Amino acid sequence: MTNFFQTFSLTILIALSSSYSHAIEEEKNELSLQEEITEYINHHVQDSHDFSLFSTKDKKTGEKIYIDFPLPVILVDEGIKVFLSSKLGHGKKVVNAGDKYYKLYHGKIYETNSEGLIEYDEEGHVINSKPLDLSITKSVFTIIVVSLLMILLFVSLAKSYSKNNKVAKGIGRFIEPIVIYIRDEIAIPSIGEEKYKNYMSFLLTLFFFVWFLNLLGLTPLGVNVTGNIAVTFCLALITFLITNITANKTYWKHIFWMPGVPVILKPIIAPIELLGIFIKPFTLMLRLYANILAGHILLYSLIGLIFIFKNLVGSGLSLVLVFFVSIIELLVALLQAYIFTLLSALYFGFAIQQDDH
């Protein structure tokens, strides 16, 4: 009888141990899946030296195999060094260029030794020297493509006007209503009929540039140009420069010596008004960056939930949410281009207003 209870107890312990081990293994697999999804989202929202399409795992070795489109790496370090990003091997390889070695580490290229050694300081910061990186990254490549596309579209529209007695044809019929809307509903009301033409070329470029980049960010190509704060900073900086370079005396008088304000208050209000010159483009930059970046993270997080749930109900619900969020993001892509253009036009209007307005 005693042997029976011992055998029975031992069987239960083995079963519990096996179940516990299986639960731990499942938890580890789930954690690794979550980490992989997080890594994928981070890779998508950040710029990179290659145009990654998708990745898979080797069944034998378990290593990641990347299917991507390599882009040219251009480094300035005691001369100009040019090679394709495929040589970097997503940070797994060391590139010998001239008499120096380089390695990709966390999205940045560092100078290393032949073994690819990365050194850190006491606070965990990389101390390897970095060459001046002028590479054609994923964002730069996308900007070039969109710029060429815009040139093609606008040249096609101009040619159709000249050949068909100012009547648009082809793709111009789709672009023309948008151009007219920006002119009649944004430029003229914000700037005025007298001087709106001086800013129309920039406003049109700005709207279509931001809109096309936003739309490309929703494709499986994995581009996130307007979700990059460096890009939105440059766009806001151009608006800032145009606003203040073309501003008239009335604009500056309203900032430094506001009419209709008691003299004792003018020195107090002037620094606040001056600060507003910089706050306006800053909010312009931050609004576009935050909205696009948040939309990308949300969309890819919902796609990741499909693989985490692994059941019909959870994955099906995530798929439905992905569909509706994608539709919303299409509207956000257009809305953010409209808001950026509208606010830029308003700033231009403020800069050239007269005292009688």
Using one digit for the tens of pLDDT, what is the confidence trace for 253-289?
888 877 777 778 778 788 888 888 999 999 999 999 9
Place of tokens 């107090």: 268
Are 79 and 198 within one domain? no
Are 166 and 123 within one domain? no
Are 289 and 304 within one domain? yes
When pLDDT is averaged across residues 278-306 and rounded to a whole number, the result is: 88
When pLDDT is averaged across residues 191-209 and rounded to a whole number, the result is: 93
State the Cα–Cα distance between residues 117 and 102, nearest whole angstrom. Answer: 10
Are 79 and 201 within one domain? no
Decide if 103 is inside a domain. yes
Cα atoms found within 13 Å of the Cα of residue 270, Cβ hemisphere only: 12
Domain interval for residue 66: 50-133
- pLDDT at position 55 is 65
Residues 44/300, Cβ–Cβ less than 8 Å: yes
Q: pLDDT band for position 147 (50/70/90)? A: very high
Q: pLDDT band for position 10 (50/70/90)? A: very low
Tokens of 81: 């060094």
pLDDT at 160 over 90: no
Place of tokens 């159709």: 160
Domain-ending residue, one of 133, 149, 183: 133
Indicate the range of 30-44, 69-83, 162-176, 227-241 predicted with least confidence: 30-44
Are 122 and 184 within one domain? no
Decide if 20 is inside a domain. no
Tokens of 230: 């460096």
Domain-ending residue, one of 90, 105, 133: 133
